[in-house]
């Protein structure tokens, strides 16, 4: 993809695919990379909507010049979001297009100065709902604070119905040829959109709900996020999925996340899984916390109502990979989960079990009985307790499913 790709009238995708970064924000694995989507609206005036991570500036500028030619420049850079995966090219772009004004809101201005020392005279500040006239294309700006940072906004083009939504509705994964929802395997991207949502934005779910309400006031035809595919065939589908996730609505299924040094706690986890399956639960995801990155576990927990945590004790604390997962879960403010816990120990009875039960209390989650606590390796009696826990969880999941209709 060495040139821009038309999205709709006068509007081009000029983003880049990052296949080099292993960890997004130096935390989240990118097994299949990530795209930074920037968009160019070439009207009487030319607006660039968002940029890309630094080190990809040449690619971005090459695409812009491929569309505009060498004699025309960018008049406005609209900054929907200041996180450097989108703002990283600002300094180089400003040097390349010196007449370019940088557009944002009052909070954007603060960040433009603190991140890139941009002069006041180069910044145009707009309030919520105000807009910019490019000629045929009239743009308006709609603040959606904390989706993902305080300054984040959506830019809406009234001529084409494109909503440029930045992080909202975006996901991990490069764009490998196709850039639209009708050109790609949305089954894969939906999983990566949920992983992005749950780990990056999910903590701010109430603000996401407000943002979606705001978006519903616009007659959008295309959802153009800053990561992942552009939704032109079925924009409402991804908006509705996002709305469900932000309301903490779940599917009928369970995640079992375990931490086990020598396989004894793994036996406990597998016994619960077997009981769930025997009771007819189809969606069961087992994660070894030592091997699955927490971002994948958090994503699956966001999807399903049921969660079982099974952990051994390590140096008189909760097994560290499980502790890490617990900290992530507390940070996300996830609601409406049904939790089962199992623990094992050899000489520190009660430590791991207490830590796991505290998670239920801190999240206001339902804590199921029984709670097996295994000494060293599970006895037949311990495994019976695990069976019972699986049965009880299955009953609760079925009850939730019936209540949801």
Q: Based on CB atoms, which residue is closest to ligand FEO, 83 or 270?
A: 83
Is residue 36 within 8 Å of residue 89, measured between CB atoms? no
Binding to ligand FEO, residues 197-256 (CB under 6 A): 226-227
Instruction: For residues 47 and 164, give the distance between their C-alpha atoms in angstroms, rounded to a whole number.
Output: 12
From 40-48, 83-91, 254-262, 396-404, give the range in contact with ligand FEO by CB under 6 A: 83-91
382 binds ligand FEO (CB under 6 A): no
Q: Based on CB atoms, which residue is closest to ligand FEO, 12 or 24?
A: 24
53 binds ligand FEO (CB under 6 A): no
299 binds ligand FEO (CB under 6 A): no
Q: Based on CB atoms, which residue is closest to ligand FEO, 228 or 340?
A: 228
287 binds ligand FEO (CB under 6 A): no
Q: H or E stretch including 5? A: strand 5-8
Among 12, 40, 56, 86, binds ligand FEO (CB under 6 A): 86
195 binds ligand FEO (CB under 6 A): no
Q: Based on CB atoms, which residue is closest to ligand FEO, 200 or 297?
A: 200
Q: What is the DSSP letter of 197?
A: I
Among 75, 85, 157, 192, binds ligand FEO (CB under 6 A): 85
**In angstroms, what CA-CA distances link 22 with 30, 34, 380?**
5, 10, 44
Q: Based on CB atoms, which residue is closest to ligand FEO, 83 or 192?
A: 83
Using CB under 6 A as the binding criterion, the count of chain residues that bind ligand FEO stands at 8
Q: In the bound complex, what is the minimum distance in angstroms from residue 25's beta carbon to ligand FEO?
A: 8
Strand 317-318 and strand 304-314: pairing? Answer: antiparallel
CA angle (254 as vertex; 323, 289 as ends), nearest 5: 30
State the DSSP string of 98-162.
TT-EEEE-HHHHHHHHHHH---GGGEEE--TT-EEE-SS-EEEEEE-TTSSSTT-EEEEETTTTE
From 54-62, 77-85, 280-288, 342-350, give the range in contact with ligand FEO by CB under 6 A: 77-85
Q: Which two tokens stand for residue 52?
A: 């890309």
Instruction: For residues 309 and 358, give the distance between their C-alpha atoms in angstroms, rounded to a whole number.
Output: 12
Q: Based on CB atoms, which residue is closest to ligand FEO, 51 or 305?
A: 51
37 binds ligand FEO (CB under 6 A): no
Q: Based on CB atoms, which residue is closest to ligand FEO, 227 or 267?
A: 227
User: What contacts 119, CB < 8 A, 6 or more positions away?
Assistant: none
Q: In the bound complex, what is the minimum distance in angstroms from residue 130's beta carbon to ligand FEO?
A: 23
Q: Based on CB atoms, which residue is closest to ligand FEO, 53 or 328?
A: 53
- Look-up: residue for tokens 């009487």? 44
User: Helix (H, G, I), strand (E, B), or coil: what is residue 326?
Assistant: helix
Number of Cβ within a 10 Å radius of residue 249: 13
Q: Where does this chain bind ligand FEO (CB under 6 A)? A: 81, 83, 85-86, 148, 167, 226-227
């Amino acid at each position: 993809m060495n040139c821009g790709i038309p999205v709709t009238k006068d509007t081009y995708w000029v983003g880049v695919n990052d296949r080099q970064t292993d960890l997004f924000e130096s935390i989240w694995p990118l097994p299949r990379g990530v795209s930074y989507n920037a968009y160019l609206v070439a009207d009487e005036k030319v607006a660039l909507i968002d940029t890309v991570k630094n080190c990809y500036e040449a690619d971005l500028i090459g695409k812009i010049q491929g569309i505009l030619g060498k004699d025309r420049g960018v008049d406005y850079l609209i900054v929907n979001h200041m996180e450097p995966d989108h703002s990283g090219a600002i300094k180089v772009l400003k040097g390349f297009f010196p007449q370019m004004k940088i557009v944002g809101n009052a909070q954007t201005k603060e960040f433009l100065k603190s991140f890139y020392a941009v002069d006041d005279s180069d910044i145009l500040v707009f309030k919520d709902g105000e807009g910019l006239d490019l000629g045929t294309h009239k743009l308006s700006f709609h603040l959606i604070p904390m989706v993902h940072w305080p300054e984040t906004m959506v830019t809406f083009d009234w001529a084409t119905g494109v909503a440029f939504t930045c992080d909202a509705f975006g996901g991990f994964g490069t764009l490998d040829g196709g850039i639209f929802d009708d050109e790609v395997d949305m089954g894969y991207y939906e999983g990566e959109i949920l992983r992005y949502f749950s780990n990056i934005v999910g903590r701010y779910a109430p603000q996401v709900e407000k943002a979606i309400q705001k978006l519903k006031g616009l007659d959008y035809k295309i959802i153009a996020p800053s990561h992942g595919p552009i939704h032109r065939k079925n924009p409402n589908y991804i908006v509705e999925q996002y709305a469900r996730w932000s309301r903490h609505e779940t599917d009928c299924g369970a995640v079992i996340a375990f931490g086990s040094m020598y396989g004894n706690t793994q036996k406990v986890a597998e016994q619960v899984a077997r009981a769930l399956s025997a009771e007819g639960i189809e969606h069961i995801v087992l994660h070894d916390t030592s091997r699955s990155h927490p971002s994948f576990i958090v994503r699956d927990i966001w999807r399903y109502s049921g969660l079982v945590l099974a952990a051994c004790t390590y140096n008189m604390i909760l097994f560290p990979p499980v502790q890490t997962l617990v900290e992530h879960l507390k940070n996300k403010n996830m609601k409406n989960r049904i939790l089962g816990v199992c623990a094992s120990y050899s000489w520190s009875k009660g430590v791991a079990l207490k830590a796991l039960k505290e998670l239920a209390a801190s999240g206001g989650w339902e804590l199921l009985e029984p709670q097996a606590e295994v000494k060293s390796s599970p006895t037949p009696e311990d495994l019976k307790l695990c069976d019972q826990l699986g049965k009880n969880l299955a009953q609760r999941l079925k009850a939730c499913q019936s209540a949801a209709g």
